[in-house]
A and B are shown apart, each in its own frame.
Chain A
Amino acid sequence: MTEKQLTILQLYPKDMNIYGDWGNVLTVMRRAQWHGYEVNLMEYNPGDTFPDTIDIVLGGGGQDSGQDRIQQDLLKIGSTLHKLANKRTPMLFICGLYQQLGNSFKTQDGHIIEGIGIFNMETIAGPERLTGNIVTKSDEFGTIIGYENHSGQTTLHRDTQPLATVIKGAGNNSTDGTEGARYKNVIGSYLHGSLLPKNPRIADFLIETAAVNKYGSFTPGIIDDRFAESARFTAESRPR
Chain B
Amino acid sequence: MTNSYTALLGKAVQKIARLRGGGSALPGLFVEKIDPNFVPRTLATLPLGVVVVSGTNGKTTTTKMVVELLEGQGLRVFTNRTGSNFVRGVAAALLSDVDRSGKLYADIAVLELDEAHAVHFVKAVQPRFSLLLNVMRDQLDRFGEIDTTAKMLQHIAESTSQTVVINREDPRLARLGALYADKTVYFGLSSDLQALFPNDDTMRSGGTVGGKQPPADVVLQKIEDEQTASFTMGKETLTATLELRGVYNIFNAAAALALVRQIIGDTIDNDKLKTSLSHITPAFGRGESLTVGGHTLELVLVKNPSGFRLSLSSFNPEGYATMITINDNYADGRDMSWLWDVDFDSLKTEGVAKVAGIRAFDMALRLQYDEVAVGDVTPYLPDALRSFIEQNPHRPKRIYCTYTAMLALRRELAKITNVETIS
Contact = CB atoms under 8 A, between A and B. Distances in A.
| Chain A binding surface SS class | mixed
Interface in B103-124: none
B337 A227 contact: no
A224 B145 CA distance: 35
B41 interface: no
Contacts, number: 99
Q: How large is the interface on A (under 10, 10 to 19, 20 to 34, 35 or more residues)?
A: 35 or more
Contacts of B364: 227, 230-231
B141 A149 contact: yes
Interface in A111-148: 129, 131-133, 147
Contacts of B359: 231, 234-235
A184 interface: no
Contact of A238 (B146, B201, B334): B334
B338 interface: yes
Given A20-B339, A234-B362, A235-B362, A197 B334 contact: no
B267 interface: no
Given A133-B334, A147-B334, A149-B140, A17 B365 contact: no
B365 A13 contact: no
Contact of A231 (B200, B361, B370): B361
Nearest to A94: B337
A240 B341 CA distance: 22
Given A63-B146, A64-B147, A13 B141 contact: no
Nearest to A232: B361
Contacts of A227: 361, 364-365, 368, 377
Interface in A1-52: 13-14, 17-23, 26-27, 30
Contacts of A213: none
B369 A64 contact: no
Nearest to B202: A14
A67 B35 CA distance: 46
B365 A198 contact: yes
A147 B361 contact: no
A72 interface: no
Contacts of B362: 198, 231, 234-235
Contact of A20 (B144, B338, B361): B338
A193 interface: yes
A19 B358 contact: no
Contact of B137 (A18, A230, A231): A18
B328 interface: yes
Given A132-B334, A151-B144, A238-B334, A20 B340 contact: yes
A191 B200 CA distance: 20
Contacts of B368: 224, 227
A238 B337 CA distance: 15
Contacts of B339: 20, 23
A22 B341 contact: yes
A230 B361 contact: yes
Q: How large is the interface on B (under 10, 10 to 19, 20 to 34, 35 or more residues)?
A: 20 to 34
Given A192-B335, A227-B361, A20 B369 contact: no
A99 interface: no
Contact of A64 (B145, B377, B379): B145
Contacts of A22: 204, 340-341
B369 A26 contact: yes
B213 interface: no
Nearest to B355: A227
A212 interface: no
A192 B337 CA distance: 6
A59 to B, nearest CB: 14
Nearest to B137: A18
Interface string B340-353: 11000000000000
A194 interface: yes
A190 B37 CA distance: 44
B51 to A, nearest CB: 30
Interface string B44-82: 000000000000000000000000000000000000000
B140 A19 contact: yes
B366 interface: yes
B335 A19 contact: yes
B178 interface: no
Nearest to A191: B337
B423 interface: no
Given A228-B365, A238-B328, A197 B204 contact: no
B336 interface: yes
A224 B339 CA distance: 20
A194 B340 contact: yes
B421 interface: no
B337 A194 contact: yes
A22 B361 CA distance: 19
Contacts of B328: 238
A17 B204 contact: yes
Given A227-B361, A238-B328, A20 B334 contact: no
A27 B369 CA distance: 7
A53 interface: no
B241 to A, nearest CB: 37
Given A13-B204, A19-B338, A23-B366, 14 more contacts: A14-B201, A23-B341, A30-B369, A63-B146, A132-B334, A149-B140, A193-B335, A197-B366, A227-B364, A231-B361, A231-B365, A233-B361, A235-B362, A238-B358
15 contacts: A20-B338, A22-B341, A23-B341, A23-B369, A27-B369, A63-B145, A147-B335, A147-B336, A149-B144, A193-B337, A194-B337, A197-B340, A227-B364, A234-B358, A238-B334
Q: Report the 9 A-B pairs with minimum CB-CB distance, sorted nearest first.
A: A23-B340, A20-B337, A20-B340, A231-B361, A230-B361, A227-B365, A192-B337, A19-B337, A147-B335
